[in-house]
Chains A and B, each alone.
Chain A
Amino acid sequence: MKLADIAQVIRSKNAGPRRLTLDLMFATDSDYQRVTQSPALSRANIAALYAQSIEDVTVIPYPVGRAIKIVLARPIMAGDPGDRDVYGAQQHAPLLGLEI
């Protein structure tokens, strides 16, 4: 099953101009548990998906919000020349097709 078929929310946004934060939210505790236990969201997998080094990837489970947070370093600071997404709001697409 793909992540887009399980999650209620898959979104990205800046957390300050140098970090990107991706939030995954789920409608039920069982959906949340299923995804947190899946190897698809390992730091190594996320690093590969976003062409980043594994040290720049953080994955934080947040059970009280039935959510998982991923934090990445932005390759280009928000608004610097060459930036493609000043708010960072469209960087979630690579996660949609992840097989859980």
Chain B
Amino acid sequence: MTTTEQPAPEIGRDRRRKEDRRLITGRTRWTDNQALTGLLHISVVRSPFAHANIKGIDTSAAKQVPGVVAVYSAADIGADQVQLPCAWPITKDMKSPQRPALAGSRVNFAGEGVAVVVARSAAIAKDAAELVEVDYEELEPVLDMEEALKDGATLVHPEIGTNANAQWVFDSGEAGSGGSVAEALKKAESDDDQIIVRRRFRQQRLVPVFMEPRSTVVDPNSEQLTMWSSTQVPHILKTMLALTLGLPEHKIRVIAPDVGGGFGGKIAVAPEEVLTLLVARKLGKPVKWTETRSESLLTAHHGRDQVQELAMSVTKDGQITGLDVKLIADMGAYLGLVGPGVPILGAFMFNAIYKIPAYRFDCTNVFTTKTLTDAYRGAGRPEATFGIERLMDEAALELGMEPLEFREKNWIKHEEFPYTTVSTLTYDTGNYEAATEQAKQMFDYDGLRREQAERRRRGDVKQLGIGISTFTEMCGLAPSRVLGSLDYGAGGWETASIRMQPTGKAEVVVGVSPHGQGHETAFSQIVADQLGVPFDDVEILHGDTQSSYKGLDTYGSRSLAVGGIAVVKAAEKVIEKAKPIAAHMLEASEGDLEFSGGKFTVKGTDKGVGIQDIALAVFAAHDYPEGIEPDIDAHATFDPENFSFPHGTHLCAVEVDTETGFVEMYKYVCVDDVGNVINPLIVEGQVHGGLAQGIAQALYEEAAYDDQGTLLSGTLVDYTLPSAADLIHFDTANTTTASTTNPLGVKGVGEAGTIASTPAVVNSVLDAIRHLGVKDIDMPTTPYRVWTAIQSASGHAGRGDEANVASPGAGLGSTARDMPEGGNL
């Protein structure tokens, strides 16, 4: 196998994915595909009310249904005593209500489970679940975050005495990383050369909507209790199940098989996961729970949902002097695994790419009687990026400056890196000028500005708007010491192991847990280059805590920037361990060896031995140096020193139909700097998907509740996701400044598109119709909202009779109410 030719580097190649074959042929292992002998199915009885006392539950009729094995209320299986974990107590005095696996005496959001039916089929379980009679005493719902914080407000959890979960504050004056914003704003107020721009923005509530509904199967009958689950976090789940339920951790095995998307929505210890486990243990039988889409929309955690009050002081020639951020964030009814920390991640990102001398961030988390919120693609950083990038446009407008020029005047110049920001992060590398220049050229920025002016002059029905977002994000979560300083419940390291097979193949076990990202391909490329073995000789193992026994899973654009580096470190250890054996085989001294292209060679000679041959030699173990173990396998844990900071310039053009309010995507260009690229195909795909989600927040998606706390967007009819017909071709490109915080120079790309795109789109919508007097439009910028904004700006008050109800038409909106019984087809 030893050759003298150097193989072409794998890193940087647009390798087609190893994962694809099983996915395009339908041979995939989704959790719901599990069919174990004797498998039982559960259906969860859920509260239709947002807030109610449970006065009684009658399960007798349900128990009579043939095929029903058991019907349990919370107390029957101890589900009401469970405290589902929140791993991020953001302050010492954070209020943390008990979150049970099933509600015992009170439900706190519509959709909360109150009982569970176990049956031989999912259909029978559902049949019987409909027969469970629950006597509810309705309580006042708590729906408005700001109202919820007022004195005398109805309390979601009376036992904690407040609807405020926690208040988290960062002040650069106190931290010593900058001045006092209070002073900066005070000074600006009395300074004729400064203005203060104040805005209030709303981050609507969203649902992650991974395409694979969640599913969990528990088999209690092997040496280790085995849970298959559609999760992003098998390792965290395993440890949390042990801690939450008091089970010995070594008796639990969690497997995340193929997982159909997550986007943060599967970072959880879900009540249903615990419930499935409790039922399986109680009955001693394997049990499956698979949610329906409507169940998923109702109960899987939601994302975003903030009110942002922002104030920026800026000199009239365009220099920012202070930024004050006040947030209220809706936690929903309970705290999710990392829910309270999500808005806090934004604390480090509101200052974005700009040099801001004084900064304050003050976030209050609030409980309401809605589905809880937690991580959704970007988690805290899209909210912050939206706030600052909208505010940059608003400030530029008030200053009468071109929005790109205003940004450039304030951003960190490429020669100023590394740069420590007012929120205490040190950005290692970046070049905002380069990305922006390339984006402008690809976009034909000046040409579109001319077209915009022309359309405006002509008074076209379809006006053109151009929106900008120059963003950065912190990713590669995370340095453990930083997480410690933020009171997060775990570290941010990642692990990898490499097991060299006798035949020279490499099994690489990783702690990150993919659900569409392409780890098997990208990590194979890394290992191929590190060890000099063929790409196809590498197998990436993941997602099963029995093989991958240690890891912190996948979120926060960490898989490559942290997990990939662990792979590099493990490969380095393999080479290190192989070196004395190679020296022995080559009858040379270690100091005379060099490793390159998969081969140890004796410097200055053509004598060499390949790593794959060494693997066979240590397997045979017939002849190896004394005093060392016959083994070149290695395990490594990598704890990053710093985050990585991808950035980019996104330019969006939309057409707004001023007669109907309809917004149509016209052109989208983004140039992202994600550091060194392992696989450009995967990077591009991540950007495309991220853009689609960010654009959808701007234009389409919202999880809306009515005044009783009922989710209106409870099916995909009402929760409007864009299809291919709603989106356009995106022009994407990369500039590269290698990250200096890790040996691969990579940054992370999973969330970039989502973080950057939302403000670019909203800025473009407003840019199209600002000349008509429109100042702001809440997201999603629906046709109705756009039209209403235009009408109000021109002094036409609408009738304002729109209602927070689903349409009486539109298919499922009211079929329940109005479907005739007989007759119709």
Partners in one complex: no
